[in-house]
């Protein structure tokens, strides 16, 4: 998987319109400034196009799969059309199933519940907790963090060569790291998995908003992602891929919608015949607006063109990296090195600063929203920060167990809706804070660093 090199600034397209682009926030030093949302990796702002589409549908909202009325039929058609739209966005195979869930976390927990008996799972310690933790009830092999894409493939090949060749196996891998932004060699990992009789699920939460994701081209068995990272609000996600394990599993949730037929048994119990379609794992009233918002985002990104979006994002990446490179006290975190292709996610630490303190100052004094901490990828961030102890007791310093180091980092992330001014303000703010220090005093409140008042 490769990333396009950006064109010169004057030929890079304008950002896509998003909600909140004109919101102003107060500064502790006085006055207001337009908020610079640079935490896309947590939740991207909704595209204006998505919001407009949802607003146009909202008056026609009705129950899904449950009613004979016009609005119910309209909402049902919209929900199922959304399923087809997202499947096209992912370039799914004809016999794949696409299940709407609440999030990437929900999708991967659903798949974990559908694993065949005795399934072995292989997962790198570098994964987000959403893809690291759902496999606790399976036989899990955790793989050490690789330092090159080639090493990732070789590590997986060795682990798979040692597995029981007669049982089912699943590999779980991210497409783009939520900590470093680096792209993983998904196609090569999929080939390694299949060569050893294993299947593979792709966590595309950080990849799908930035790059096209083709189930067929990458040759993955499943893909999972979240709407809230794809510029689509309302708490919906997707699990798409092979139908057999999903059809053979007990429903993720038991209830209406998942059941085709329910009868009383002679012994007084209840007999249930479950659906074999995606409805099997969509019990209850579905989040039709969440599904519709994902489909609207898929359409908007497709129409904007990923070649154009990738070029613009690469331009922003280079601006941020160039700005950070001007500050010797900044160390950018990386597994694969400076030349590794990546999406708009960059994490770093600043010598002499606790990361929570630095992030608080960016917000309070510059109106810039970033993320600090371990980013729900604790093993990875601890590996990357293993040699960087931070002073305990400093404002916002996270608690550490006795004998452990207090560790956290800062993450800046951006995407299709980010204007140049936001990343330029960020780079200037980093330089000023390192050179001059914070202008305001800060204190710790409930574990967070906040301005002292």
Active site positions, annotated: 376
Residue 366 CA to residue 385 CA, distance in Å, equals: 26
Residue 244 CA to residue 94 CA, distance in Å, equals: 13
At residue 128, φ and ψ (nearest 5 deg) are: -60, 150
List, as one string, the DSSP characters of 331-382: EE--SS-TTS-B-SEEEEEETTS-HHHHHHHHHHHH-EE-EEE-TT-HHHHH
Beta bridge partners of 200: 171
Q: Specify the long-range contacts of residues 20-27, CB closer than 8 Å, at least 24 apart.
A: 20/45, 21/45, 21/417, 21/419, 24/367, 25/367, 27/364, 27/365, 27/366, 27/367
Residue 358 CA to residue 353 CA, distance in Å, equals: 6
Beta bridge partners of 350: 330
Which two structure tokens, joined as six digits, stand for 167? 């049982």
Q: Cα 380 to chain center, whole Å?
A: 15
Q: Looking at 153-269, which runs of residues are DSSP E strands?
A: 169-174, 199-203, 222-226, 237-241, 259-264
Residue 71 CA to residue 216 CA, distance in Å, equals: 35
Counting beta carbons within 10 angstroms of the beta carbon of residue 7, is it exposed (0 to 12), middle (13 to 18) or buried (19 or more)? middle
């Amino acid at each position: 998987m490769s990333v396009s090199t950006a064109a010169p600034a004057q030929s890079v397209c304008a950002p896509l319109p998003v909600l909140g682009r004109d919101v102003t926030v107060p500064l502790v030093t006085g006055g207001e400034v337009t908020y610079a949302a640079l935490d896309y990796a947590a939740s991207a702002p909704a595209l204006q196009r998505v919001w407009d589409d949802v607003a146009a549908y909202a008056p026609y909202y009705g129950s899904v799969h449950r009613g004979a009325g016009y609005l119910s039929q309209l909402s049902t058609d919209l929900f199922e059309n959304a399923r087809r739209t997202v499947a096209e966005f992912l370039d799914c195979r004809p016999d794949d199933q696409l299940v709407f869930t609440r999030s990437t976390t929900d999708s991967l927990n659903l798949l974990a519940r559908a694993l065949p008996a005795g399934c072995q799972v292989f997962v790198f310690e570098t994964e987000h907790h959403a893809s690291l933790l759902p496999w606790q009830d399976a036989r899990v092999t955790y793989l050490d963090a690789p330092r090159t894409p080639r090493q990732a493939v070789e590590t997986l090949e060795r682990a798979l060569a040692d597995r029981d060749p007669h049982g089912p196996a699943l590999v779980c891998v991210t497409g783009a790291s939520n900590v470093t932004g680096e792209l993983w060699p998904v196609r090569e990992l999929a080939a390694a998995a299949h060569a050893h009789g294993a299947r593979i699920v792709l966590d595309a939460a950080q990849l799908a908003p930035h790059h096209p994701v083709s189930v067929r081209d990458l040759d993955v068995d499943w893909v999972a992602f979240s709407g809230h990272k794809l510029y689509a609000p309302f708490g919906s996600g997707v699990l798409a891929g092979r139908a057999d394990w999903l059809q053979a599993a007990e429903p993720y949730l038991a209830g209406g919608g998942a059941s085709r037929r329910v009868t009383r048994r002679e012994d007084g119990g209840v007999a249930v015949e479950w659906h074999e379609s995606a409805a099997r794992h969509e019990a209850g009233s579905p989040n039709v607006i969440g599904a519709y918002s994902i489909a609207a985002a898929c359409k908007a990104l497709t129409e904007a063109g990923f070649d154009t979006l990738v070029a613009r994002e690469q331009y922003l990446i280079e601006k941020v990296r160039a700005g950070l490179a001007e500050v010797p006290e900044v160390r950018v975190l990386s597994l694969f090195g400076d030349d590794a292709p990546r999406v708009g996610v960059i994490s770093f630490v600043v010598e002499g600063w606790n990361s929570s303190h630095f992030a608080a100052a960016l917000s309070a004094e510059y109106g810039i929203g970033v993320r600090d901490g371990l980013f729900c990828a604790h093993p990875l961030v601890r590996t990357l920060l293993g040699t960087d102890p931070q002073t305990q007791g400093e404002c916002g310093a996270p608690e550490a167990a006795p004998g452990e180091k207090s560790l956290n980092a800062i993450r800046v992330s951006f995407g299709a809706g980010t204007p140049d001014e936001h990343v330029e303000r960020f780079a200037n703010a980093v330089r000023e804070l390192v050179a001059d220090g914070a202008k305001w005093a800060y204190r710790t409140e409930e574990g967070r660093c906040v301005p002292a008042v």
